[in-house]
Amino acid sequence: MRYFLVALLIVVFGYALALVLQNSTELPVDLLFTQVPAMPLGLLLLLALVIGIVLGLLLGVQIFRVFQNSWEIKRLRKDIAYLRKEQIQTAQLAAAEAAVNVKHEKTVLDIHPENRNSNPF
Protein backbone atom coordinates (compact mmCIF):
# COMPACT_ATOMS: atom_id res chain seq x y z
CA MET A 1 0.00 0.00 0.00
CA ARG A 2 2.86 2.34 0.85
CA TYR A 3 4.48 1.79 -2.56
CA PHE A 4 1.19 2.46 -4.29
CA LEU A 5 0.82 5.79 -2.48
CA VAL A 6 4.39 6.80 -3.30
CA ALA A 7 3.83 5.92 -6.96
CA LEU A 8 0.57 7.88 -6.98
CA LEU A 9 2.31 10.88 -5.44
CA ILE A 10 5.04 10.74 -8.09
CA VAL A 11 2.47 10.53 -10.88
CA VAL A 12 0.50 13.51 -9.49
CA PHE A 13 3.69 15.54 -9.09
CA GLY A 14 4.75 14.69 -12.66
CA TYR A 15 1.32 15.66 -13.97
CA ALA A 16 1.46 18.99 -12.13
CA LEU A 17 4.94 19.72 -13.45
CA ALA A 18 3.90 18.87 -17.02
CA LEU A 19 0.80 21.05 -16.63
CA VAL A 20 2.86 24.04 -15.59
CA LEU A 21 5.47 23.51 -18.33
CA GLN A 22 2.97 22.93 -21.16
CA ASN A 23 0.79 25.95 -20.33
CA SER A 24 3.26 28.79 -20.04
CA THR A 25 0.96 31.46 -21.53
CA GLU A 26 0.68 34.35 -19.11
CA LEU A 27 -2.62 36.04 -18.45
CA PRO A 28 -4.04 38.45 -15.87
CA VAL A 29 -5.99 36.97 -12.96
CA ASP A 30 -8.51 38.68 -10.71
CA LEU A 31 -8.46 37.08 -7.24
CA LEU A 32 -11.45 38.77 -5.57
CA PHE A 33 -9.30 40.80 -3.15
CA THR A 34 -6.33 41.42 -5.39
CA GLN A 35 -5.38 41.30 -9.04
CA VAL A 36 -2.31 39.53 -10.40
CA PRO A 37 -1.10 41.25 -13.58
CA ALA A 38 0.41 38.14 -15.18
CA MET A 39 0.31 34.52 -14.07
CA PRO A 40 1.22 31.43 -16.11
CA LEU A 41 -1.87 29.45 -17.10
CA GLY A 42 -0.31 26.18 -15.90
CA LEU A 43 0.29 27.64 -12.44
CA LEU A 44 -3.30 28.89 -12.35
CA LEU A 45 -4.58 25.44 -13.29
CA LEU A 46 -2.35 23.85 -10.67
CA LEU A 47 -3.57 26.31 -8.03
CA ALA A 48 -7.20 25.56 -8.93
CA LEU A 49 -6.47 21.82 -8.77
CA VAL A 50 -4.86 22.07 -5.33
CA ILE A 51 -7.69 24.22 -3.95
CA GLY A 52 -10.23 21.75 -5.34
CA ILE A 53 -8.44 18.77 -3.81
CA VAL A 54 -8.13 20.43 -0.40
CA LEU A 55 -11.77 21.51 -0.35
CA GLY A 56 -12.86 18.06 -1.55
CA LEU A 57 -10.87 16.33 1.17
CA LEU A 58 -12.19 18.63 3.89
CA LEU A 59 -15.76 18.14 2.70
CA GLY A 60 -15.24 14.38 2.35
CA VAL A 61 -13.87 14.10 5.88
CA GLN A 62 -16.81 16.07 7.26
CA ILE A 63 -19.35 13.95 5.39
CA PHE A 64 -17.58 10.76 6.47
CA ARG A 65 -17.72 11.94 10.08
CA VAL A 66 -21.50 12.40 9.76
CA PHE A 67 -21.88 8.88 8.36
CA GLN A 68 -19.56 7.48 11.01
CA ASN A 69 -21.64 9.08 13.77
CA SER A 70 -24.81 7.71 12.20
CA TRP A 71 -23.34 4.19 12.06
CA GLU A 72 -22.18 4.46 15.67
CA ILE A 73 -25.65 5.55 16.81
CA LYS A 74 -27.26 2.60 15.01
CA ARG A 75 -24.76 0.18 16.57
CA LEU A 76 -25.33 1.58 20.04
CA ARG A 77 -29.12 1.35 19.64
CA LYS A 78 -28.77 -2.33 18.70
CA ASP A 79 -26.57 -2.88 21.75
CA ILE A 80 -29.14 -1.17 23.99
CA ALA A 81 -31.96 -3.32 22.58
CA TYR A 82 -29.90 -6.48 23.10
CA LEU A 83 -28.98 -5.53 26.66
CA ARG A 84 -32.60 -4.68 27.51
CA LYS A 85 -33.72 -8.06 26.20
CA GLU A 86 -30.99 -9.78 28.18
CA GLN A 87 -31.90 -7.83 31.34
CA ILE A 88 -35.59 -8.76 30.98
CA GLN A 89 -34.69 -12.44 30.55
CA THR A 90 -32.44 -12.33 33.61
CA ALA A 91 -35.17 -10.66 35.68
CA GLN A 92 -37.75 -13.23 34.55
CA LEU A 93 -35.39 -16.07 35.40
CA ALA A 94 -34.69 -14.59 38.85
CA ALA A 95 -38.42 -14.10 39.46
CA ALA A 96 -39.14 -17.69 38.43
CA GLU A 97 -36.41 -18.98 40.75
CA ALA A 98 -37.73 -16.86 43.61
CA ALA A 99 -41.26 -18.18 43.00
CA VAL A 100 -40.00 -21.77 43.01
CA ASN A 101 -38.08 -21.18 46.27
CA VAL A 102 -41.12 -19.65 47.97
CA LYS A 103 -43.32 -22.50 46.79
CA HIS A 104 -40.75 -25.06 47.97
CA GLU A 105 -40.49 -23.44 51.43
CA LYS A 106 -44.26 -23.29 51.73
CA THR A 107 -44.57 -26.97 50.74
CA VAL A 108 -41.93 -28.04 53.25
CA LEU A 109 -43.65 -26.10 56.06
CA ASP A 110 -47.04 -27.55 55.13
CA ILE A 111 -45.81 -31.13 55.19
CA HIS A 112 -44.18 -30.98 58.59
CA PRO A 113 -46.05 -28.36 60.65
CA GLU A 114 -45.75 -30.32 63.94
CA ASN A 115 -41.96 -30.29 63.85
CA ARG A 116 -41.87 -26.55 64.24
CA ASN A 117 -43.38 -26.35 67.77
CA SER A 118 -42.87 -29.77 69.29
CA ASN A 119 -39.78 -30.86 71.09
CA PRO A 120 -38.86 -34.54 70.60
CA PHE A 121 -37.27 -34.82 74.09
What is the domain range of residue 17?
A: 2-109
Domain-located, residue 120? no
- Please write the tens of the pLDDT for every residue from 38-88: 888 888 888 888 899 899 888 888 888 888 898 999 999 999 999 999 999
- Please write the tens of the pLDDT for every residue from 20-49: 888 888 888 887 888 888 888 888 888 888
Measured CA distances, 100 to 87, 95, 118 (Å): 20, 9, 28
Domain-located, residue 116? no
Helices (H), the chain: 2-22, 41-111, 114-117
Domain-located, residue 96? yes
Domain total in the chain: 1
Domain-located, residue 115? no
Domain-located, residue 114? no
**How far out from the chain centre does Cα 49 lie?**
30
Domain-located, residue 20? yes
